[in-house]
Amino acid sequence: MMTSVTNQIYRTLGLLTVAGAAISVGVLRAAEPRATPPAAPPTFSANVAPIIYSNCVVCHRPGQAAPFALLTYDDVRKHGETIVTVTASRYMPPWHAARAEGFPEFRDERRLSDADLRTLKDWAAAGMPAGDLSKTPLPPSFPSGWALGVPDLVVQMSRTIDVPADGPDLYRNVTMPVDLPDDRWITAIDFEPSARGVVHHALFFSGPASAVVGDDELLPGLSSGLRGGGRAAGAADQAWGGLGGWVPGLMPHFYPDGIAQPLPKHTNLILQLHLHPSGKAEHEQGQLAIYFAKTPPKKSLMGIQVPPVFGFAAGIDIPAGDKQFTIHDSFTLPVGVEAYGARGHAHYLAREMKLTATLPDGTTRGILWIKDWDFGWQDSYFFKDPFSLPQGTRIDATIVYDNSEDNPRNPRTPPVHVSWGRSSFDEMGSLTLLIASPPGPDADVLRQAVTQHFREQLRARIGR
């Protein structure tokens, strides 16, 4: 999201003509005090359109997740009061990584400045004037329909999955044939569901072209930690050739420069879908957009999930009515790492997430703080400036849940007891530190430490 640079100061240049006319009247007249004329109200063409086009239309355009388009003056005027309300509360644009002392800044931040908010408010208060619409900047162009531009490869699901109007959640694995002749490196991947309302999440994997995966088989995205296998350091999208995932509200990103994920030759993609009935029969046959790096990357991405396996053994057991149910977990780095970003995952009851690092010298730095978790707007947050965390750094995660009637996102009224589970109305909870995969043996040391941490957590939970 880009910050608007609109400014009304140029309008004060009109004073120059007033002063010039006063010169012929004489010194006394020139010395008379003059009232400063009020600043003209913002207009759509000059002031509002740049804000909307820079921050909103990536979603508010035909075929995307937003419920209406904001491409024209009439579009924006029709929803003007709503725009002022949801931006003033910072519900929109959706960006849940808090700005706080000691926490990093992030790339591609979707946050309006205070000046932008004032412009929108003043424009609405003035009656939403159009201005000279012939001078309105053109809205951003998305010629391919994909937010990141024309993909190098688009792969559609090889079959349609029918989702009934009601019933239990469905879990389906769909093989998407690719089988490229050469190794490639993925620098971004995007997913477009055909029935967005029923897709709880999707995970992307690469596997041998000969691999056959059953519909309900647990891929390592959830099962690697339970079995102690996989290539993950506790993160779902690092297991078994993991290539990332999609959740509601996720905005696609290119990885930071020099980072990419491998897609080995003669492999296929496997899409693991969690589908939740929406109240009407739906049919899902989404597609993936893949962007390849032009040259082999210097590093690949890896995740450290705290608590591991989405909090499977973290004691998520939330009584009905509990407004402050909290889980904590800590993991100490056995090797030094380069931190590039972070993300969180939970379901509807989570309200706050915080991830911090305590260095060996005792100093603490923030990593990610989400003060108002919203399942509908999950994202990955990449740091504007990556940083190093030395061996011995302790990573601390805290997640707070609200299972009361005061939680407007609680799907059950009255509240019921909720524990860990895979379905939408169960709960999970974890925060993931995204790092550059350490070189050689250090990566194995890190994976083994994460696996051991989960086993110890599981033993402690079972022993209680």
pLDDT higher at 340 or 238: 340
User: How much is the average pLDDT of 182-204?
Assistant: 90
Residue range 107-155, pLDDT digits in tens = 988 889 999 999 999 999 999 999 999 999 999 887 677 888 899 999 9
Residues with Cβ < 8 Å from 352, sequence gap 6 or more?
Answer: 370, 371, 372, 373, 398, 399, 400
Whether the CB-CB separation of 163 and 284 falls below 8 Å is answered with yes
> Higher-confidence residue: 215 or 363?
363
Determine the distance from the C-alpha atom of residue 51 to the mean position of all C-alpha atoms in its chain, rounded to a whole number.
Answer: 20
Contact yes or no for 414/191 (Cβ under 8 A): no
Pick the CATH number of 302-463 from 3.40.720.10, 1.10.540.10, 2.60.120.1440, 2.60.120.230: 2.60.120.230
Q: What is the mean pLDDT of residues 55-61?
A: 88
Confidence band, pLDDT 50/70/90 cuts, at residue 225:
very low
Q: Following DSSP, what letter does each residue of 137-166 receive, concatenated?
A: PPPPP-TTSSTT-S-SEEEE-SS-EEE-SS
Q: 153-298 with 302-463: one CATH topology?
A: yes
Higher pLDDT, 26 or 70: 70
Q: Identify the pLDDT of residue 218.
A: 52
- Does residue 219 have a pLDDT over 90? no
Q: For residue 315, name the pLDDT band (cuts at 50, 70, 90).
A: very high
Reported as type and span, the H/E element at residue 85 is: helix 80-88
> CA-CA distance, 153 to 246, in Å (whole number)?
17
What pLDDT is stored for residue 323 in this prediction?
Answer: 97
Range from 212-226, 263-277, 376-390, 436-450 carrying the lowest mean pLDDT: 212-226
* pLDDT exceeds 60 at position 272: yes
pLDDT value at residue 241: 66
The mean pLDDT value for 412-429 works out to 94
pLDDT of 233: 31
Taking the C-alpha atoms of residue 369 and residue 397, their distance in angstroms, rounded to an integer, is: 10
- pLDDT score at 12: 30
Higher pLDDT, 149 or 361: 361
CB 386 within 8 A of CB 339: yes
Integer angstrom CA distances of residue 191 from 216, 246, 289: 21, 7, 6
Matching residue, tokens 């730095």? 365
Widest pairwise Cα distance in the chain: 95
- pLDDT value, residue 38: 54
pLDDT band at 37 (very low <50, low <70, confident <90, very high): low
Are 271 and 197 a contacting pair, CB within 8 Å?
A: no
Average pLDDT over residues 259-265: 88
> 328 by DSSP, 3-state: which?
strand
Q: String of b and e for 42-62 (b: at least 16 CB within 10 Å)?
A: bbbbbbbbbbbbbbbbbbbbe
3-state secondary structure of 109: coil
| Distance between CA atoms of residues 238 and 225, nearest Å | 11
Structure tokens at 376: 């509908």
Poorest-pLDDT segment among 210-224, 230-244, 253-267, 307-321: 230-244
Report the DSSP beta bridge partners of residue 286: none
Percent of the chain with pLDDT over 70: 85
- Least confident segment among 199-203, 309-313, 405-409: 199-203
pLDDT at 229 over 50: no
Determine the average pLDDT of the residues in 56-71: 86
Residue 237 has a pLDDT of 35
Say yes or no to pLDDT of 39 above 80. Answer: no
- Rounded CA separation 338/344 (Å): 19
Q: What is the mean pLDDT of the chain?
A: 84
Main-chain dihedrals φ then ψ at residue 259, nearest 5 degrees: -115, 135
Q: Domain locations in the chain?
A: 9-135, 153-298, 302-463
3-state secondary structure of 77: helix
Thinking of the domain 153-298, which architecture would CATH place it in? Sandwich (2.60)
